[in-house]
Chain A
Amino acid sequence: MSVDAKTVRRIAHLARIAVTDDEVEHLKGELNAILAFVEQLSEVDVKGVEPMTSVTPMTMKKRPDVVTDGGNPDAILKNAPATQDNYFLVPKVVE
């Protein structure tokens, strides 16, 4: 499988990465080189093989459903580029 310029733009939008026209051509070549490389997986017989979902077989650890952390708005907001009244500030989302 290979991608065309339109697909590159669609992927870039899905990934929320702005791309310029110059970059699209370049990215198309690079992405197709990677896709051509992974293509060899199609020759493996995977019929009936379970996909790996857990690297180390283990039962999911559980903890009591109680609050264990919180009450640190200053720490949480410390690295934010824009804040107001203990909120993260973003451009208007809802008109």
Chain B
Amino acid sequence: MTGLTALTIAQARDALAKKEFTAVELADAHLAAMEQARALNAYVLETPERARAMAQAADAHRRGAAARPLEGIPIAVKDMFCTADVRTSAGSRILEPFVPTYESTVSGNLWRDGAVLLGKTNNDEFAMGSSNETSCFGAVTSPWRRKGANTKLVPGGSSGGSAAAVAAFLAPGATGTDTGGSIRQPAAFTGIVGLKPTYGRCSRWGIVAFASSLDQAGPLTRSVRDAAILLRSMAGHDPKDTTCVDLPVPDYEAAVGRSVKGMRIGIPKEYRVEGMPAEIEALWQAGRKWLEAAGATMVEVSLPHTKYALPAYYIVAPAEASSNLARYDGVRYGLRVPGKDVTELYERTRAAGFGQEVRRRVMIGTYVLSAGYYDAYYLRAQQVRTLIKKDFEDCFNAGIDAMLTPTTPSAAFGVGEKSSGDPVEMYLNDIFTVTVNMAGLPGISVPAGLDAQGLPLGLQLIGRPFDEETLFALGEVIEQAAGTVAAERWW
């Protein structure tokens, strides 16, 4: 990863402006790296022709007019985003083949600002997973390995392909989606930055829907500054998504480097869970010290309903998924398995098209919404969700500016280590991230160091609604103190 692929978005942007190289050269460098890294299975579709055409257009645009914010910056797009005339799969056999005739608002915003599409990245099927092992294209292999071992590790999920691509220098930035931790957990596992914005900050239009009241798009990058740069382009009002807010998009990059002096940072005591490795506790402690050294004050706070967030999530998310995924019926797009009547056609198509985890979640969702069970499960989960949100509101109303927590309860695990047996074991990966989705808040994961096995760990910052700027300011302090990490190339 020498040369052009080593650059961050900010560095590439500034070098392009000084004409040190062209957007075509930058795209070509990444396309070559992608070709050499196919063993990682990070991309499910490379789009070299489109990348070169978009890069040429960016170079031409730069010659003729003022450069746009992402002029010539190559980006990888998670395969949950519909991209016009470029195959979009959501990691599922049921969408094979699906070539959208329209562009998602978020990816469209990136192209509007001059970015270049490198390809579509792998993800857990319909973004349901925490290891990127449920994709119909197979598992993604993390660029990271334990010290002195060659066990294949997962990059986390569901945005595992985006995280692996950014961590392995196959793209300087990528889009992800986060429903329960799907941006922040893979970012933590691969030693990069991942941000889930406030619910409503980015349009969901044109993104394959998983759980509509939880889904948010966000950036994965190798620096806090780059996340700020990408979010500014991705965010913004969209009349096509009724939950997308009509609020001005701040210059997020201006918040990077802003003083955090006097800020009050909540340390939620409920995040100190039993069985958490001592290294994670130590890292959390280090994070507190770094923020204190920058002038912030640590305050112990309580979020009493934390332990109920994950069980409530496993009612709300499958319920919404069972409803959203009803559209995959073998009639309008994707796979069709014939049957003797239309019901058999539906049942066979969905049995063949959905993988095991998706079938499981659709069935749980169907059950909790079915007659007689709705109040006991779904209604109660939505009431618990109100309580989870109130826990955060109480802290923010008491003058807390943001919270600091670990991103995950462990470092990355091996491919296959958690994919058999009890599904709940895998779900526990999201224990620290899922509360943020349930409350609709913004959260960022910033790399904070390596564990004894040489694997990256992340710290999470949780902010007030629509206060991503504070997260960028605090995230930059952690990044400056912890430094960046990179996997040794073996592929």
Interface membership of chain A positions 11-31, coded 1 if the CB is closer than 8 angstroms to chain B and 0 otherwise = 111111111000000010011
A53-95 CB contacts (< 8 Å) to partner B:
53, 55-56, 58, 60-61, 63, 72, 75, 78-82, 88, 90-93
B380: contacting residue among A7, A31, A46, CB under 8 A: A46
Interface membership of chain B positions 324-342, coded 1 if the CB is closer than 8 angstroms to chain A and 0 otherwise = 0010011111111011111
- By the criterion CB–CB under 8 Å, are B370 and A14 in contact? yes
- By the criterion CB–CB under 8 Å, are B311 and A38 in contact? yes
- By the criterion CB–CB under 8 Å, are A19 and B351 in contact? yes
- Expressed in whole angstroms, the Cα–Cα distance for A31 and B377 within the complex equals 14
- By the criterion CB–CB under 8 Å, are B97 and A55 in contact? no
Q: Chain A residues near B346 (CB, 8 Å)?
A: 16
B374-417 CB contacts (< 8 Å) to partner A:
376-377, 379-387, 389
- By the criterion CB–CB under 8 Å, are B315 and A38 in contact? yes
Interface membership of chain B positions 420-445, coded 1 if the CB is closer than 8 angstroms to chain A and 0 otherwise = 00111001000000000000100000
- Expressed in whole angstroms, the Cα–Cα distance for A65 and B252 within the complex equals 36
Q: Chain B residues near A3 (CB, 8 Å)?
A: 367
* Minimal beta-carbon separation of B366 from chain A (angstroms): 4
**Any A CB within 8 A of the CB of B98:** yes
- By the criterion CB–CB under 8 Å, are A91 and B366 in contact? no
B310-365 CB contacts (< 8 Å) to partner A:
311-312, 314-315, 322, 326, 329-336, 338-348, 350-351, 354, 359-360, 362-365
B347: contacting residue among A1, A18, A75, A80, CB under 8 A: A18
Q: Chain B residues near A17 (CB, 8 Å)?
A: 347, 350-351, 354, 359, 362-363
A81 and B314 in contact, given A56-B198, A61-B239 (Cβ under 8 angstroms)? no
- Expressed in whole angstroms, the Cα–Cα distance for A42 and B370 within the complex equals 18
Q: Chain B residues near A58 (CB, 8 Å)?
A: 200, 243, 245
- By the criterion CB–CB under 8 Å, are B360 and A88 in contact? no
Q: Chain B residues near A50 (CB, 8 Å)?
A: 383, 386
- By the criterion CB–CB under 8 Å, are B314 and A38 in contact? yes
A63: contacting residue among B239, B387, B422, CB under 8 A: B239
A12 and B363 in contact, given A51-B386, A52-B386, A79-B99 (Cβ under 8 angstroms)? yes
Cβ-Cβ contact count across A and B, 8 Å cutoff: 162
**Any A CB within 8 A of the CB of B138:** no
* Minimal beta-carbon separation of A14 from chain B (angstroms): 5
Interface size on A, residues (CB 8 A): 50
- By the criterion CB–CB under 8 Å, are A93 and B342 in contact? yes
Q: Chain A residues near B36 (CB, 8 Å)?
A: none
Q: Chain A residues near B465 (CB, 8 Å)?
A: 56
- Among A40, A44, A61, the one with the most B-chain Cβ atoms within 10 Å of its Cβ is A44
A33: contacting residue among B329, B347, B422, CB under 8 A: B422
Chain A at the B interface: SS class: loop
B336: contacting residue among A8, A15, A63, A81, CB under 8 A: A81
A90: contacting residue among B312, B342, B373, B381, CB under 8 A: B342
- By the criterion CB–CB under 8 Å, are A55 and B239 in contact? no
- By the criterion CB–CB under 8 Å, are B360 and A31 in contact? yes
- Among B199, B354, B367, the one with the most A-chain Cβ atoms within 10 Å of its Cβ is B367
* Minimal beta-carbon separation of A65 from chain B (angstroms): 14
* Minimal beta-carbon separation of A52 from chain B (angstroms): 4
**Any A CB within 8 A of the CB of B242:** yes
* Minimal beta-carbon separation of B225 from chain A (angstroms): 27
- By the criterion CB–CB under 8 Å, are B376 and A56 in contact? no
- Expressed in whole angstroms, the Cα–Cα distance for A47 and B430 within the complex equals 28
Q: Which residue of the partner chain B has the closest CB to A81?
A: B336
- Expressed in whole angstroms, the Cα–Cα distance for A3 and B370 within the complex equals 13
Q: Which residue of the partner chain A has the closest CB to B325?
A: A15
A33 and B423 in contact, given A16-B329, A40-B308, A56-B200 (Cβ under 8 angstroms)? yes
**Any A CB within 8 A of the CB of B146:** no
- Expressed in whole angstroms, the Cα–Cα distance for A90 and B366 within the complex equals 24
**Any A CB within 8 A of the CB of B61:** no
Known: A14-B370, A37-B314, A91-B339. 7 other contacts (CB 8 A): A18-B347, A19-B351, A35-B364, A37-B424, A52-B383, A55-B440, A79-B332
17 residue pairs of the A-B complex, CB under 8 angstroms, read A1-B376, A16-B347, A33-B423, A41-B315, A49-B386, A52-B213, A55-B213, A56-B200, A56-B245, A56-B465, A58-B243, A61-B242, A61-B246, A63-B239, A80-B331, A80-B332, A91-B340
Interface residues of B (CB under 8 A from A): 97-99, 101-102, 198-200, 213-214, 239, 242-243, 245-246, 305, 307-308, 311-312, 314-315, 322, 326, 329-336, 338-348, 350-351, 354, 359-360, 362-367, 370, 373, 376-377, 379-387, 389, 422-424, 427, 440, 465
4 smallest beta-carbon distances between A and B, as pairs: A51-B382, A79-B333, A55-B440, A81-B336
